[in-house]
Structure 1
Amino acid sequence: MTDTAKSPSLLGELLAEFAGTMILILFGVGVVAQVVAGQIGDHDSIAWSWGLGVTLGVYVAARISGAHLNPAVTFALAVFGDVPWRKVLPYSLAQTAGAFVAALLVRWNYSEVLASVDPGHTVKTQGVFSTLPGNGTLPVSDLGALRDQIIGTAILLFVIAALTNLRNTEAPGANMTPLVIGLLVVAIGMAWGTDAGYAINPARDFGPRLASFITGYDTAWLDQYGNVYFWVPIVGPLIGGVLGLGLYKLLVGRYMPAPEKTP
């Protein structure tokens, strides 16, 4: 019998990116709302829930779209010719839309608790939805946060490239790769979360930031110092993603031996 299955259409890929990113943000923003507004949990629960959100989002979308779930991933892959440029903008919009819808759901679900702990919807709970330098409390400048986002996203793409390199026989099997990528995000959160809240994903930050703005957070685009900040978790990850993927290809990928052919 002939297999008549077709490759997913671009629409199918975009819907998968939307759904996968939505799942990611439901768990990621949801846990921050629970910790900050509900005072249930701590930093470790935030790191683990973000990582598990990534894992589950990748499982949702990987078979159809590759589960980028992050414009920095899509952009870096396009820079090195691994995905066509025509997909960068549609993928990024779908990812941002998924993050936006998820954040609206979290905002709605936690509306009473957020209003109770922060009636003015200020920087006190803005970090539930989007990142701030020094997590809104520590003395980190916007440029320091930009540096942090470049480094954090470079680490993310460097390791993802190793985990998904088909020539890397030591990489986890396809069904385990999402879990290990999730653990990677947990590790980044535990090691690189101080300076800028480890957004490492423009859609993850901009979508929820927009959702918070239209639901009462008037200073959503600013940091705690009053500076325009929303560009930092966009520009930083885009630079860092290209840097990380490029370094992997330069230092490791080009030396990876081709798999041995079986007779």
Structure 2
Amino acid sequence: MRQTTGGELLAEFLGTAILIILGCGSVAVAVAGLPGSGRQSVPFGAANWLIIAWGWGLAVVFAVYVAGGVSGAHINPAVTLAFAVRRKFPWKKVVPYWAAQVVGALAGAAVVYAVYHDAINAFNAAQTPPVTNRADSLATFSIFATFPASYFGGVWWGPLVDQVVGTAILVGVIAALIDRRNQAPQSNMAPFMVGLVVAAIGFTYGTNAGYAINPARDFGPRLLTLFFGWGNKAFPGNGAWFSNYWWIPIAGPLIGGVLGILVYDLFIGQVLTARQAPEAAPTPEPGRVPGTAEQPAKAE
């Protein structure tokens, strides 16, 4: 099993779990783990947001280093879908990869909850008035899953566009970083650069809707919040200004991932292909991701 797709699924599971353990862990620090954090609530202060943005960026770096040599470290269903559409990644592996990613995200969220449940309880008890029902705590829910900013006013298309654009940026830049015909990073630095992309998206687009930009990153931890008392904040995503939100961090990234790789191929990839002598074309390697030594797949 480990010599075939089963081994790749194990890598996707562990890589996505590492992503969530470190990423959601950084949010837990910002919300409930810092001294005095029991007096804080959403929205986050600037210092807290720096912890979160850098935490998620570094989470991606180490998740890709963990899984990249086996599965290519997609760790994101949007990346898997985009690579199936434009990088000849086998379609028969798409759903198994998605399943491994979601289960890995759920497992990672369970680790974060096991470590921080005392801090979560202390945070809720420190509120004025004390929060006795987790379903009433948007701040602690935000440790695990995302929600839109109040200025969207409950309209779904604003957060959806945010997720499409954020994921398009992510996948489009990943396409550039793994394209050795372009200016791909050397010395196995691609995972670090991908992490910087995620940090940059957090700094520039993160406050609109929590920059899930990854269906597994949101859906897996959201399942955990459903199991452990956050109720309808998880599904269907009901709150003071948002309802039925759960599907947006799934649909938006899947659309955005495909859009991002199509835009890269249209504006850059096809230009590089046209300028490249046929004998110098790189050897296709379907669906490989940042950080591996193999040549990336040529766009269709």
The question of a shared fold, defined as TM-score above 0.5 by the shorter chain, is answered with yes
Q: Which moved more, 1:26-35 or 1:76-85?
A: 76-85
Matches of 1:184 and 1:243 in 2, distance apart? 17
Matches within 5 A, 1:1-263: 8-39=3-34, 42-118=48-124, 119-121=132-134, 122-134=137-149, 137-139=150-152, 141-168=155-182, 170-173=183-186, 175-219=188-232, 220-221=234-235, 222-224=237-239, 225=241, 227-256=243-272, 257-258=275-276
Query: 1:109: Cα distance to partner?
Result: 1.0
Matches of 1:82 and 1:73 in 2, distance apart? 12
Matches of 1:46 and 1:109 in 2, distance apart? 17
SS in 1 for 2:29: helix
Q: Which moved more, 1:65-74 or 1:141-150?
A: 141-150
CA-to-partner distance for each residue in 1:153-181, whole Å, 9 max, x for gaps? 0000110000001322x210251000000
Matches of 1:83 and 1:139 in 2, distance apart? 36
Normalised by the length of structure 1, the TM-score is: 0.91
Q: Which moved more, 1:98-107 or 1:31-40?
A: 31-40
Q: Which moved more, 1:225-234 or 1:181-190?
A: 225-234
Aligned to 1:4: none
C-alpha distance 203-125 of structure 1, shift in aligned 2 (>3 A): same
Q: Which moved more, 1:7-16 or 1:157-166?
A: 7-16
Matches of 1:50 and 1:15 in 2, distance apart? 22
CA-to-partner distance for each residue in 1:173-220, whole Å, 9 max, x for gaps? 251000000001000000010211100000000000001110111121
Matches of 2:238 and 2:200 in 1, distance apart? 25
Kept in 2, the 8 Å contact 1:52–1:182? The answer is: yes
Structure 1, unpaired ranges of 5+: 1-6
Matches of 1:192 and 1:124 in 2, distance apart? 19
Matches of 1:61 and 1:204 in 2, distance apart? 16
Equivalenced residue count is 252
Q: Which amino acid aligns with 1:178?
A: P
Matches of 1:223 and 1:151 in 2, distance apart? 24
Matches of 1:81 and 1:183 in 2, distance apart? 23
Identity of aligned residues (%): 48
Structure 2, unpaired ranges of 5+: 36-46, 125-131, 281-300
Matches of 1:92 and 1:186 in 2, distance apart? 23
Query: 1:76: Cα distance to partner?
Result: 1.1
Kept in 1, the 8 Å contact 2:148–2:242? The answer is: no
Matches of 2:218 and 2:12 in 1, distance apart? 16
Matches of 1:223 and 1:143 in 2, distance apart? 16
Matches of 2:58 and 2:212 in 1, distance apart? 15
C-alpha distance 86-8 of structure 1, shift in aligned 2 (>3 A): same
